[in-house]
Chain A
Amino acid sequence: MRLTHSQARALKGMLGILLFIAVWQGSVPLIGLDAYYYPGPIDVWHAAFELVEKGILPVYLSDSAGRYAAGVCIGVASGISFGLLIGLNRTASRMLGPSINFLFSIVEAAWIPIFVIWWGYGYTTILISLSYVIFFPVLYNTLLGVRSVPQVYIHAAQALGANRWQVLSNVILPSALPSIITGFRVGAGFAFRGLVFAEIISAKTGIGFMIFEGTTYHQTARTVVGMIVMGLAWLFINNFYLKPLERATVERWGLITTAETRE
């Protein structure tokens, strides 16, 4: 059977991953360190099996997923609202623009200490810092989308008697949507890293907590399990939710957003 080009590439990629695991396992006796310092793939496999069997991993995973989903929803909703406000209103743009630029330059990690002072270690702190992370990429891309709507379309809709609301919902939103989705994807990626950090600092469950807890209890293999689960989770989210969403919106709504206007 002949393989197509992309199949051959995927196969080579798989081979690369297998090779990596083989080299990793082979290096364990060569390096000769205790599993605390350098766990091998077999240790990690055992740890993963144990974590699933004891039911720890599923619980942590669903806790993390719940926090992530909630944070992303709040961040996206507020990002789109502010993006529309600033994109559609010149006064709002001149008033809020510089302040938002400044806030954007403060990384989310810097806020966590004061969130902890205000809301303590726990859910609220994680939720707010996640929403903060995703807020900015969504806002900037919504802005970009709104500003790149060709004036002609707005005039056309107005000439046909559309009121402000109809212009917004029938012209501006659909044409800004592909750009908004791009912001959503970028922000979701940043928020995913933010989640791990927030959980390390201020949670007692979750994947980020597991990554950190593993080493404090001399179970480094659990830390590695956490890292791998994190990577797999992101690939899953990216390939099964974000990419299809982006493709679907560009196909469905992207008609009016030509290449030039998206630049």
Chain B
Amino acid sequence: MNALPSRSRMNDILLMALPPFLLLLVWFAVPHLLTYPAYKLPSIATVGQRIVEAVSDGSLAKAILSSLGRLAMGFMVGNLIAIPLGIAVAMNRHVSDLLRPLMTFLQSIAGIAWVPLAIIWFGLGHGAVVFIIANAIFFASINNTIMGVESIPNTLYRAVRSHGGRGSQVFFNLVLPGALTQIILGFRTSMAYGWRSLVAGEMIAGSSGLGYMTIEAVQWYQTETIIMGIAVIGVLWLLMDRFLFSTLERATVIRWGMVRS
């Protein structure tokens, strides 16, 4: 490998930098060309200043941590209920037939529609938002778990039984590992739903965190805070998606050879 990036690589970087560069240019030029109330679009310098301020006084870190803490908690609660329940439902054909349409229906109203009820039950703030995240993750995850169990070929069941495997052995040696691939792959999807619910839930029912910070700024016309919030929300998800889930998938399902990398 060369120490310097090759020419086509340089070209790529220049090309992909073009749209953000143009955006910044327009953002820079607009105040000189049009007149509008200052709160509609603060200058780049104002936004930069706001970010420096929020980083140095620790308020940004605090908002990020409280949001991520809620997300982690909702993710855990949702999955801890959904995975055992999903396996239990999927292992019995009758139960799964009984619950399937109900699950489909409830899944289509999962998430943000529960916000008002969450507020009534838990009050504004932490509890309501965790409930909404856990709810969204629960319905995504239970569907996934059921799919995972049902994807195990019947031949494998017969193979285990013909070797004398019984109840708990079938469960630990076949059902659990068999469903695990689908469950792990499903984490990414269910987390995406959870993340949406986090941001939206904090906006309606939160009292701290990134979503709350961003919507609260609307009342005070602090557009620079809103822009910071949008950027942070984008970067955080990108980081989670790239590092958390890709690493998890590489360490598990890809290493086990269950899916192609």
Contact = CB atoms under 8 A, between A and B. Distances in A.
Interface of A: 8-10, 12-17, 19-20, 36-37, 91, 94-99, 101-103, 105-114, 116-118, 192-193, 196-197, 200-201, 208, 211-212, 214-216, 220, 223-224, 226-228, 230-232, 234-235, 238
B30 interface: no
A242 B101 CA distance: 18
Contacts of B18: 95
Given A105-B241, A117-B221, A9 B97 contact: yes
B15 A91 contact: yes
B113 A110 contact: no
Nearest to B113: A227
Contact of B19 (A12, A99, A226): A99
B117 A215 contact: yes
Contacts of A231: 105-106, 108-109
Nearest to A133: B196
Interface stretch (B57-65, B72-80, B168-176, B230-238): B230-238
B115 A114 contact: no
Interface stretch (B150-158, B159-167, B212-220, B249-257): B212-220
Contacts of A224: 117
A109 B108 contact: no
Contacts of A10: 101
Nearest to A95: B15
Interface string B94-134: 10011111101110110111111101110000000000000
A12 to B, nearest CB: 4
Nearest to B237: A105
Nearest to A108: B196
B195 interface: yes
B15 A196 contact: no
Closest 3 interchain pairs by CB? A13-B101, A106-B234, A215-B116
B16 interface: yes
B121 A110 contact: no
Contacts of A111: 230
Contacts of B121: 37
Interface stretch (B48-56, B141-149, B180-188, B198-206): B198-206
Nearest to B233: A110
Given A9-B97, A109-B196, A215-B117, A235 B104 contact: yes
A181 to B, nearest CB: 19
B211 interface: yes
B170 to A, nearest CB: 24
A234 B39 contact: no
Given A107-B196, A113-B214, A117-B40, A17 B19 contact: no
A126 B39 CA distance: 21
Given A113-B217, A227-B113, A16 B196 contact: no
23 contacts: A9-B100, A10-B101, A12-B98, A13-B98, A17-B105, A91-B15, A94-B15, A95-B19, A99-B20, A103-B234, A106-B230, A107-B199, A109-B203, A112-B215, A113-B218, A113-B229, A116-B218, A117-B226, A197-B200, A211-B113, A212-B116, A215-B119, A234-B109
